[in-house]
Copies of this chain bind each other. A is one copy, B any other.
Amino acid sequence: MVEKALYFEDIAIGEQFTNGGYLITKEHAIAFARDFDPQYFHTDEEAAKHSVFGKLAASGLYTAAVSMRLKIGSPLSKVSGGLIGLGLESVKWPQPVYPEDTLRIVITITSKRLSKSSPTKGVVTYRVDTYNQHDALVMEMDAAVLVPCLNSHKGESQ
């Protein structure tokens, strides 16, 4: 575990950060879907049997939310000032997620460059691959985050 804050200079292309052990419960998946994605294959166990999934499936956005929770629990979240996302690219769900699945993520740093508009910060891009307990890929995405440089450190970070 990384204890001190991470700066732009600390992060290497190809470096990986992992976290896992998130059990998907039916209750939580349904509660999320009722709030944000109330479609019958995400909220109604009986009706879901007649859907394209054949059984209750988690919302793709729930899988994204759980993956973010795992990311915040990973050492990458020690980035100085916190992980402030710039955007996402190429979010895909190659396999559904079902209740009782256990999810883990692998974050891989894919690029880094200094910011043009803010010379004391860098833009770091990374890929997040989310797997279930059978090591099947259930979500993949590319993301970008702004990371302060060491020379920007004025004691304001957490």
How many copies of the chain does the oligomer comprise? 2
Stretch at the interface among A3-11, A31-39, A104-112, A127-135: A31-39
CA gap between A77 and B38 in the complex, in Å: 10
Convert A55-75 into 0s and 1s, putting 1 for each residue whose CB lies closer than 8 angstroms to a CB of B.
000011100111011001000
Task: Identify A69's interface contact among B35, B81, B86, B91, CB under 8 A.
Answer: B35
**A92 x B87 contact (CB < 8 A):** yes
B93 touches A91 (CB 8 A): no
Q: Are B87 and A88 in contact (CB under 8 A)?
A: no
User: Do A72 and B158 contact each other (CB < 8 Å), given the known contacts A87-B90, A89-B89?
Assistant: no
Q: Are B36 and A81 in contact (CB under 8 A)?
A: no
**What is the CB-to-nearest-CB distance from A102 to chain B, in angstroms, rounded to a whole number?**
17
Docked-complex contact A37 and B68, CB < 8 angstroms:
yes
Are B60 and A61 neighbours in the complex by a CB distance under 8 Å?
A: no
| B36-A82 in contact (CB<8A) | no
A52 within 8 A of B: yes
Taking the complex as formed, is A40 at the interface, i.e. its CB lies under 8 A from any CB of chain B?
yes
Instruction: Across the A-B interface, give the 6 residue pairs with the lowest CB-CB distance, nearest first.
Output: A88-B91, A36-B65, A87-B92, A39-B82, A36-B69, A60-B85
